[in-house]
Copies of this chain bind each other. A is one copy, B any other.
Amino acid sequence: MSSTRQIVVGDAALGGVALGGGAPVVVQSMLNIPTSDAPGCLAQIDILAEAGCELIRLALPDTASLPAFERICAESPLPVIADIHFDFRLAIAAAELGAAKLRINPGNIADLDLVDAIIDAAGSVGIPIRIGVNAGSLAPEFALRSELSLTEKLVASAESFVEHFEERDFTNIVVSAKAHDVRTTVEVYRLLAADLPQVPLHLGVTEAGTAFTGTVKSAAALGALLLDGIGDTIRVSLTADPVEELRVAWQLLATLGLRRRGPELVSCPTCGRCQVDLIALACEVEERLSFVRKPLTVAVMGCIVNGPGEAASADVGVACGAGKGAIFSAGKILYTVPESTIVDALMEEIDRY
């Protein structure tokens, strides 16, 4: 848990989302349909909220999208973050039209006077700004400093903007500095956390890749940082349906013992000792658990070597032998069932737990 300043995204009176300062790590994602399509965006927000999204970001590419943006802000069940590049006027408009937060990369905005206009607009409606630095779009004054490593450029850029915002007495900020490689990401955020202990951090790996590649990258980078207690909100970026981003984000938080949305499944790797169809069994249990919201640990173990020990330490579990399974609950064997009814028996004990 970080001890950064706490900021609130969304109307506090209506249950805004606290970020930093000991609040649980917040999960966010981004819409992938045009903002101009308000009904489509609102429908996707509902789907993502159901999948565990707590803050939703959308791109605001042009003035034509502003009416739809206003409607989305008004009707969204989640606080809406406007993502703005290049045009400071869109950021000001977003603040006025109901954005719960702005995300800008000051390096993409021509000069600091225009950034100041955005700061003042956010300040006047009391919403936070994410300073989002990105390896792919560093401001020229940092990008061109060839004596610096990419890590150093990202940190220097983010810190110079934080200094600028704080000098203007605007501290309602969160910072991200994304790269597409894990090592740079981890180094950058460790430096930022050390240098700016007061500033909430938004973690993410940018351009992380497809569901497979991006899951590995994000879990490695965000996992290492979250284990260090660094990070107040995360976005897992995938070239995939944003629902997948949320699934990975929640799995990661559960995996680290930080937050849980449902059960955790423990299952053993397959090996030559296994005498049941463990992959099918574990996948069926995982599938059926996705409808369960109880935060319990379920073990599906294939053999007698580690099985009973692991199954007994889970809330509910099964340790399989040849064609059958011993069902555990709260550390005790309850009974043994044939392979065909293992999943049903397990689900029954989960309901009962």
Q: A residues bordering B, Cβ < 8 Å?
A: 30-35, 41, 58-59, 61, 83, 85, 108, 134-138, 180-183, 186, 206-210, 212-217, 219-224, 227, 237-242, 245, 247-248, 251-252, 255-257, 264-274, 278-279, 282-283, 286, 299-302, 305-307, 309-310, 313
Given contacts A215-B215, A265-B209, contact A137 B306 (CB under 8 A): yes
Closest 5 CB pairs of A and B: A220-B223, A136-B306, A219-B219, A237-B269, A32-B270
- Determine how close the nearest CB of chain B comes to the CB of A242; give it in whole angstroms: 7
Q: When the two chains form the complex, which single residue of B208, B216, B269 contacts A207, counting CB atoms closer than 8 Å?
A: B269
Q: Which residues on the B side are within 8 Å of A251 (C-beta)? A: 212-213, 216
Q: Contact: A267 with B209, CB < 8 Å?
A: yes
Q: Name A's interface SS.
A: mixed
Closest chain-B Cβ to A6's Cβ sits at a distance in Å of: 24
| Residues of chain B contacted by A269 (CB below 8 angstroms) | 30, 32, 206-208, 214, 237-239, 245
Within the complex, the shortest CB–CB distance from A222 to chain B, in Å, comes to 8
Of B137, B206, B274, which is within 8 A of A32 by CB? B274
Q: Report the bound CA distance from A120 to B85 in whole Å.
A: 68
Q: Cβ of A264: which chain B residues have Cβ within 8 Å of it?
A: 213
Q: Are B306 and A206 in contact (CB under 8 A)?
A: yes
19 further A-B pairs in the complex, CB-CB below 8 A; given A31-B272, A220-B224: A33-B272, A58-B272, A59-B273, A135-B309, A136-B310, A137-B309, A182-B223, A182-B257, A183-B257, A206-B269, A207-B266, A210-B265, A212-B286, A213-B267, A219-B223, A220-B223, A237-B268, A239-B282, A239-B300
Contacts of A247 in B (CB 8 A): 212
Contact residues in B for A257 (Cβ distance below 8 Å): 181-183
Q: Tell which of A209, A251, A257 has the most Cβ of chain B within 10 Å.
A: A209
Q: Report the minimal beta-carbon distance from A258 to chain B, rounded to whole angstroms.
A: 9
Say yes or no: A268 contacts B83, CB within 8 Å.
no
Selected contact of A309 from candidates B59, B61, B136, CB within 8 Å:
B136
Q: 12 A-B contacts, Cβ less than 8 Å apart?
A: A30-B270, A32-B274, A83-B271, A136-B306, A180-B310, A182-B255, A182-B256, A207-B267, A207-B306, A212-B286, A215-B216, A219-B219
